[in-house]
Amino acid sequence: ASIAADEASASGINWTFGPMVDISREARWGRVMEGSGEDPYLGSKIATARVKGFQGETRADLLKVNTIAACAKLFSAYGFAGAGKEYNTVDIGNATLYNTVLPPFQAANDAGVRTFMNSFNILNGIPATGSSFLQRDILKGKWKFDGFVITDWASIKEMILHGYAKDGAEASEKAVKAGSDMDMESYLYVAELVKLVKEGKVKEALVDDAVRRILRVKFELGLFYDPYRYCDEARE
């Protein structure tokens, strides 16, 4: 991870969508090779090592030109998708959730990871992207995470296909209320958030909180001191 950060940062990249810290015991799942296996203790140790490899030992290290922001994914339980099928539902008890699924994510948070990516899957009836339980109660509440949460690829829009939201506006409302700060690829926040705030369906304070979290990480990376600090042809 340290070598990857050194090389990527010299090419203008300042953020990576890794490490994936999902625990999985389903060999048919197509992404088993991306994670760290089936053991939560080993997964937690590898999560810690990779986060520090990308970001450095402390938050101050993010200002260094050879470190990049890491992203712990996919929050959460993506590796337990039914029958190993992508986007499938996950139905597990609290013992499995707390003792197997969550420890590597908590380890990544304890190591200082600055971003989390939520997951496509439904967890016990609720899409992770729309889960206040995962994103607000556990991550931002109990674990006191102060970075930001990005959605998985168009996962706000995926909530419509899951039958959890009737349209893009409702999906956006549920996602931002649940704690999804940045919308990757569905473009629904761009299309819907202003209207939702004007209609009183979403409090402006929720948008402010999301923006504040995103800007905080950009400041920590030094992008407001020098937006071109990761673009150095000589170093590359």
List all residues 6 or more positions away from 225 whose beta carbon is below 8 Å from its beta carbon: none
| Rounded Cα–Cα distance for residues 221 and 235 (Å) | 18
72 closest CA partner among 122, 13, 119, 133: 119
Clarify whether 208 is annotated catalytic. Answer: no
8 A C-beta contact, residue 220 and residue 206: no
Distance CA 121, CA 30 (A): 14
At residue 74, φ and ψ (nearest 5 deg) are -115, 120
Burial grade of 226 (CB within 10 A; 0-12, 13-18, 19 or more):
exposed
Confirm if 89 and 35 have CB atoms less than 8 A apart: no
Residue of 61, 110, 137, 152 with catalytic role: 152
Q: In terms of C-beta density within 10 A (0-12 exposed, 13-18 middle, 19 or more buried), how is residue 105 classed?
A: buried
Catalytic residues: 152
